[in-house]
Amino acid sequence: MTISQSIRRAIRPAGKTAQAIARWMRLSFNDAPPIFGNAKPKSGSHLLLQVLNGFTRIMPYRYVEAEPIRTITKNGTRNMQDEILTELKRIPSGVIGWGYLDATPANVSFLTQSGRVNYFIYRDPRDLLVSQVFFATDMHEEHGMHDFYQSLPDFSERLKIAITGIDRDGLYMVSVKQRYEGVFQWLAQTNVMCIRFEDLVGNRDATLSAMLDEVEKTGYKIPTPREQALSILVDAIQPKKSHTFRSGKTGGWREYFSDEHKRLFKEVAGDLLVRLGYEKTNDW
């Protein structure tokens, strides 16, 4: 991080708070419930982030945190649970947090306290794998799989590794089935609204309305009329503004999965897609 970036990051909260004070004509931001937006990596986190930023224009929140709270750091190391809880508790009042967190007992206990709102976004595993391979190969040179993916002859071979995972020569990446163990843990939580990326794209208005309903379940009344609020949120969703944007499509996996990839996926993942509701049978 450059010095100028550090300075901008340091002064951002004050600037965003000043904007919120001017927008909402208030100094206190304690009314609206605490919100945390959570995601499976490469599953639409930046789309969710745009919605959360839209929330600051329809409810009195100060801003959305600039940095996510992570279970796994960008360098591939695992954050200690105490560190994660400290970061969660450090989110200021009236500020929306977000991140990539596992459903550990401690995380679940903190985030699902009464009066809090939680969203968790996930995606069709096949599209996630395609997105992960492109991201690690072409967009993020510091990714742990970047050099290895680059060493493989083509996308097809990279996709096979993404499906099976790898554990050799100092490289470790879990299989697609193991990737989704954490998704099922979040799906089992009653006080977390789990959102399919596909629904936020293809069934946008109904999904956004349900997200607003989730806020009002706490007893808080959103001050912006629903129709106006939805319009603001729709305007906030601009996938191409995300620095990790590639295609933003659903079902794009069909362009990349050969019959061999399909067979390998089914061998490794079993009935994963059926359990997630993406397929009715394993005959796809």
* Domains of the chain with CATH codes: 7-123+180-239 (3.40.50), 126-178+246-276 (no CATH)
Q: Quote the pLDDT of residue 9.
A: 72
Beta partners for residue 168, in sequence order: 171
Q: Residue 121: is it exposed, middle or buried by C-beta count within 10 angstroms (0-12/13-18/19+)? A: buried
- Ramachandran assignment for 72, one of left (phi > 0), alpha (psi -120 to 50 degrees), beta (any other): beta
Beta partners for residue 229, in sequence order: none
Q: Report CA dihedral (145, 146, 148, 149) to the nearest 10 degrees.
A: 100
pLDDT average, residue stretch 230-236:
96
Spatial distance between the Cα atoms of 103 and 108, rounded to a whole number of angstroms? 6
Q: Residue 57: is it exposed, middle or buried by C-beta count within 10 angstroms (0-12/13-18/19+)? A: middle
Q: Quote the pLDDT of residue 3.
A: 63
Spatial distance between the Cα atoms of 59 and 10, rounded to a whole number of angstroms? 24
39 SS3 class: strand
Return the sign of the alpha-carbon dihedral for residues 178, 104, 186, 237: negative
Q: Quote the pLDDT of residue 72.
A: 85
Spatial distance between the Cα atoms of 168 and 173, rounded to a whole number of angstroms? 10
Q: 136 or 186, which is more confident?
A: 186
* E strands in the chain: 35-39, 63-64, 69-70, 95-100, 117-122, 166-168, 171-173, 193-196
Q: Quote the pLDDT of residue 248.
A: 57
Q: Quote the pLDDT of residue 14.
A: 93
Q: 143 or 276, which is more confident?
A: 276
**pLDDT at position 193 over 90:** yes
218 and 117 Cβ atoms separated by less than 8 Å: yes
91 and 97 Cβ atoms separated by less than 8 Å: yes
Q: Quote the pLDDT of residue 240.
A: 65
Name residue 67's amino acid: E
pLDDT > 90: percent of the chain: 77
- Per-residue pLDDT tens digits for 133-174: 998 887 656 666 777 888 898 999 999 999 999 998 888 889
Q: Quote the pLDDT of residue 33.
A: 98
Q: Quote the pLDDT of residue 1.
A: 54
Q: Which residue in 47, 40, 33, 51 sits closest to 209, CA to CA?
A: 51
